[in-house]
Amino acid sequence: MVKDFEYYRVLTELGVDKWKNVTGNINSEEYKRLLVECTKNLYDLKDSCVGRDCLVMGMAPSLLKIDKDKYKNHLKLACNFINRVPGFFVDDFKPDFWCGCNDLEILKDPMDYCVDKKIKIFVTTPNSMQFEEMLNFLKKETYLDNTFAWHWDFEILQKLIADKSNNKCFFSKPITIVIEMIAFAYWLGCDSITITGMDLSYLKAYEKYGMTHAGYDYSDVLFDDKNVGGAQALSREGDRIKILSDLKYFAQILLENNVSFINASYRENKIKIEGFENTSGEKI
């Protein structure tokens, strides 16, 4: 059962204090205050979307195959470089939330886009100093009311989901943001969660489409030998084991709560998990 916010506030503050005077935070107390505020924003969203269906959009090439008309009334979650997908996230298909978990260098451009387009931000980053910089930027833009964050290192989101589902187990720290987006949709209380744009292989996507992502190519970065993980990320056995384990974790939780869990990218990812329905959202 979800605890009073005071419990998660204390954990969030401990997470900040753990790295105080280690990671170079300019003002740890202010950073702590901002992070607690944005975590409270997330906490307060619990079950706020009961009765709605949700579309979780990864950024793999299969995203562009969906029948957008079918999902116009869905709650829409997008991620990563949504600003680079040409002509897709137009006004009548604007995401309700953008979701990010990465270094600030990668998050900055899509965050600017979200502030400009008035898209709410669901975000975390493993780097404490960058997290402080990010929240200060959003404060300067008077966008904190539209920011929903959690401490990466202390796994606040994982704890919220475990408590809501009366589960003693947690899902993994971020490997692919799609998992956190599923967690977020469950936290919001959506009646169904459809996943698209989750191809789970940059290498296969590039081989098939000539690009690593939906409408844009990131191979110059991903395929750079200096990029740890890079092109092999998501394809490595260890990554796939954790991702599949997390998907099974949510399939079980959603099944127990009568939430439909739909894999619209099954033609690409070939995932077969009980409770994760292979229903296509593609144009045929």
Please count the other Cβ atoms lying within 10 Å of the Cβ belonging to residue 156.
22
> Is-contact 100 79, C-beta < 8 A?
yes
pLDDT of res. 97: 98
AA letter at 274: E
Give residue-wise pLDDT tens across range 159-212.
999 999 999 999 999 889 999 999 999 999 999 999 999 999 999 999 999 999
List, in order of start, the domains of the chain with CATH numbers: 5-269 (3.90.1480)
Query: Is residue 236 over pLDDT 90?
Result: no
Using alpha carbons only, how large is the chain's radius of gyration in Å? Answer: 18
pLDDT of res. 283: 58
> Is-contact 31 135, C-beta < 8 A?
yes
Give residue-wise pLDDT tens across range 120-164.
999 999 988 999 999 999 999 999 999 999 999 999 999 999 999
Give residue-wise pLDDT tens across range 42-51.
999 999 999 9
**DSSP E strands, 70-110:** 75-79, 97-101
Q: How far apart are CA 192 and CA 118, in angstroms?
A: 25
- In the chain, what percentage of residues exceed pLDDT 70? 95
Q: How far apart are CA 117 and CA 71, in angstroms?
A: 20
Q: Is 1 exposed, middle or buried (0-12, 13-18, 19+ CB in 10 A)?
A: exposed
Please, which residues bridge with residue 206 across strands?
none
Binning pLDDT at 50, 70 and 90, where does residue 284 land?
A: very low
Give residue-wise pLDDT tens across range 77-102.
999 999 999 999 988 899 999 999 99
